[in-house]
Amino acid sequence: MVALVSALVWLASLGSLAHAGGVTTTTTTTLPSTTSTTLVTTTTSTTIPPSTTSTTVPPTTTSTTVPPSTTSTTTTTSSSSSTSSSTSSSSSSSTSTTSSTLPPPEECGNCLDDDGDGLTDFEDADCCETPPGTLTVERLTLLPIGAVSRIELAASSLPAVPSLVPSTQTLIVQLAPDDATPILCASVDALHFRTKRDRATFVDRSGGVPSARGITNARLQRLGTGLLRLTLRGARAGFHTPAAEQFRVAVALRSLVTPGAPVRCVTRTVDVVPGKKGGSLELP
């Protein structure tokens, strides 16, 4: 009996020992697994937040580029200013260019085509009451005598005037060949005319009136229609007769009383042909 109990105690001891030994083995295996798993999880969750925050927030804010926007605005403003300045400069330049390109106004009475439109003094509407009217040329004879010329001219249909008062008017006669500038710009002030009824006469045999340019005789006669007829002659007028096929004749009456008043002008371009004498020209 004692032996049986001893045997049972021994077996129980063995069981305890055996049980103690199994627990030890199991515990050792479980602890590492649990610990390592927990660590991995912790590490992973810790890594994610930092990555997201640092990557997104700062870059986005920075790349919103507040400075760039400001810089752009500044640039735009500068551009606008520059553009405005350029425009202003361009306008100024244009104005300068235009003003420097503009020809001078026609000066009436200097025998020059000041504004370059091909018309001189009283051929030019700028000097006349209205665009120059049409003149009827009845006779034109030119004969070169060295540096001077003999001239005879008869023309009518000068513009009607309220009354023929040569004492207050200046007679102007211009003669130009083809498309060239005038070879004759003669003027006779009214005070050199003698007036008798409807006729005014100028005679200057001695050439005492330089502005007449060698015209020694001129007569203005008021016709029944109210128009004027002009005849003039010069034995040695101050121009050389060129070879030409046409002549522009211009006649004007300018007021002496009111120098700024519009001038009555008439013009006519006539064909000429060689005359009988060498170098002479006359109407066909």
Q: Does 165 bind Ca ion (CB under 5 A)?
A: no
Q: Does 176 bind Ca ion (CB under 5 A)?
A: no
Of 74-82, 104-112, 203-211, 249-257, the segment contacting Ca ion by CB under 5 A is 104-112
The residue with its CB nearest to Ca ion is: 124
* Identity of the residue, 115 or 282, whose beta carbon is nearer to Ca ion in the bound complex: 115
**Burial label, 181 (beta-carbon count in 10 A; 0-12, 13-18, 19+):** middle
Residue 231, CA atoms < 13 Å, CB-side half-sphere: 7
Nearest distance from residue 207's CB to Ca ion, in Å?
A: 24
Strands 246-255 and 228-237: unpaired
- Rg (alpha carbons) of the chain, rounded to whole number: 58
* Identity of the residue, 114 or 282, whose beta carbon is nearer to Ca ion in the bound complex: 114
Of 8-16, 113-121, 227-235, 241-249, the segment contacting Ca ion by CB under 5 A is 113-121
Q: Does 172 bind Ca ion (CB under 5 A)?
A: no
Q: Does 189 bind Ca ion (CB under 5 A)?
A: no
SS3 225: coil
Q: Does 110 bind Ca ion (CB under 5 A)?
A: yes
Nearest distance from residue 269's CB to Ca ion, in Å?
A: 16
Q: Quick one: tokens of 8?
A: 């049972």
Nearest distance from residue 267's CB to Ca ion, in Å?
A: 12
Centre a 10 Å sphere on the Cβ of residue 7 and count the other Cβ atoms it contains: 10
**Nearest-5° angle of CA 4, CA 6, CA 7?**
65
* Identity of the residue, 113 or 189, whose beta carbon is nearer to Ca ion in the bound complex: 113
Q: Does 117 bind Ca ion (CB under 5 A)?
A: yes
Nearest distance from residue 100's CB to Ca ion, in Å?
A: 19
Among 74, 92, 106, 282, binds Ca ion (CB under 5 A): 106
* Interacting positions 119-138 with Ca ion (CB under 5 A): 119, 121, 124
Q: Does 112 bind Ca ion (CB under 5 A)?
A: yes
* Identity of the residue, 59 or 103, whose beta carbon is nearer to Ca ion in the bound complex: 103
- Cα–Cα distance measured from residue 152 to residue 214, given in angstroms and rounded to the nearest whole number: 12
Q: Quick one: tokens of 23?
A: 């627990």
- Cα–Cα distance measured from residue 79 to residue 89, given in angstroms and rounded to the nearest whole number: 15
Nearest distance from residue 108's CB to Ca ion, in Å?
A: 6
Q: Does 115 bind Ca ion (CB under 5 A)?
A: yes
Q: Which residues pair with 177 in a beta bridge?
A: 247
- Cα–Cα distance measured from residue 191 to residue 203, given in angstroms and rounded to the nearest whole number: 12
Nearest distance from residue 115's CB to Ca ion, in Å?
A: 4
Q: Quick one: tokens of 12?
A: 């129980």
Q: Does 179 bind Ca ion (CB under 5 A)?
A: no
Q: Quick one: tokens of 229?
A: 């007829």
Query: What does the CA dihedral 190, 196, 201, 204 come to, rounded to 10 degrees?
Result: -80
List residues near Ca ion by CB under 5 A: 106-107, 110, 112-115, 117, 119, 121, 124
